[in-house]
């Protein structure tokens, strides 16, 4: 079985230990695949700088795709609370990092998540965790945005959810397909945010501040 390398810490994002100790073994099969990849790229996996690269890459890939081993229920646990709040809640500028499924290159940026509670609220730090569950997979930005919105709907049954994501894609930037500073914006609206234009424009006003 593959070891999962991501560890959760209370009150913050989980961090990866991507160092490689001499002689350390992690995932022999994956490390061998990466060694073969290095050979195929006409590199020498035995040279000093690359000797522990298969191990580090295996750990990095495991961490960056750690979302496959997580569920929204795992990360939220008991952080959904009864509360007589019906006002819009917005969590702005949540950093996220994901991998595009077409090139396995990073895309990263910021997410804004809003919801209209129906007597249930969620711990604010959990919103970023929910995004990580889906970001740490091979993704396309549109699906990531929709999955985050659907998860918020499922976990709280609020009146509505809005997720807006703005990201830079290295597969476009590094190939020069797009201007270096361009970014892609995606949104997913559920419930009131989809049905009510006034709710949407209230959201946009609050996000722009
Ligand atoms: Zn791509």
pLDDT tens track for 101-138 = 999 999 999 999 999 999 999 999 999 999 999 999 99
Yes or no: say if 13 and 73 are a contact pair by the CB < 8 Å rule: no
Q: What is the pTM of this model?
A: 0.89
The Å distance, Cα 173 to ligand 1 centre, comes to: 10
Average pLDDT over residues 185-209: 94
Question: What does the pLDDT read at residue 8?
Answer: 42
The CATH class for the domain spanning 1-64 reads mainly alpha
Largest CA distance in the chain: 63
Q: Which residues line ion ligand 1, judged by CB < 5 Å?
A: 100, 102-103, 171
CATH topology of domain 73-208: GTP Cyclohydrolase I, domain 2 (3.30.1130)
**Element of type H or E holding 124:** helix 124-135
pLDDT band at 209 (very low <50, low <70, confident <90, very high): confident
| CA of 171 relative to ligand 1 center, distance in Å | 5
The larger pLDDT score, comparing residue 130 to residue 183, is at 130
pLDDT computed for residue 179 by the predictor? 66
197: pLDDT strictly greater than 70:
yes
For residue 178, report the distance from its CA to the centre of ligand 1, in Å: 12
Average of per-residue pLDDT values in the chain? 90
- Report whether 3 contacts 26 (CB < 8 A): yes
Mean pLDDT, to the nearest integer, of 3-25?
Answer: 60
pLDDT for residue 88: 95
Ligand 1 center to 23 CA (angstroms): 34
Per-residue pLDDT, 20: 79
Q: Where are the domains of the chain?
A: 1-64, 73-208
**How far apart are the CA of 169 and the centre of ligand 1, in A?**
7
Neighbour-count burial of 58, counting CB atoms closer than 10 A to its CB (0-12 exposed, 13-18 middle, 19+ buried) = buried
Residue 139 CA, ligand 1 centroid: distance in Å: 9
User: Annotated catalytic sites, by residue?
Assistant: 100-103, 141, 169, 171
Least confident of 11-15, 55-59, 68-72, 168-172: 11-15
Q: What percent of the chain has pLDDT over 70?
A: 91
Q: For 17-27, how does the pLDDT look when each residue is reduced to its tens digit (9 = 90+)?
A: 788 787 788 89
């Amino acid at each position: 079985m593959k070891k999962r390398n991501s560890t959760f810490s209370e009150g913050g994002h989980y961090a990866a230990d991507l160092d490689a100790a001499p002689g350390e073994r992690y995932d022999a099969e994956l490390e061998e695949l990466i060694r073969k990849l290095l050979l195929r790229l006409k590199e020498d996996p035995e040279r000093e700088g690359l000797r522990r690269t298969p191990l580090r890459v295996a750990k990095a890939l495991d961490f960056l795709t750690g979302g496959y081993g997580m569920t929204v229920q795992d990360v939220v646990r008991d952080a959904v609370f009864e509360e007589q709040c019906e006002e819009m809640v917005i969590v702005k500028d949540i950093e996220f990092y994901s991998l595009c499924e077409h090139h396995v290159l990073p895309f990263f940026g910021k997410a804004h998540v809003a919801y209209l509670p129906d007597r249930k609220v969620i711990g604010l730090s959990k919103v970023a965790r929910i995004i990580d569950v889906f970001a740490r997979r091979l993704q396309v930005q549109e699906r990531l945005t929709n999955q985050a919105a659907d998860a918020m709907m499922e976990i709280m049954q609020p009146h509505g959810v809005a997720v807006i994501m703005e990201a830079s894609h290295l597969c476009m930037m590094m190939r020069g397909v797009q201007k270096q500073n361009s970014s892609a914006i995606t949104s997913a609206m559920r419930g009131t945010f989809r049905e009510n234009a006034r709710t949407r424009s209230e959201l946009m006003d609050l996000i722009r501040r």
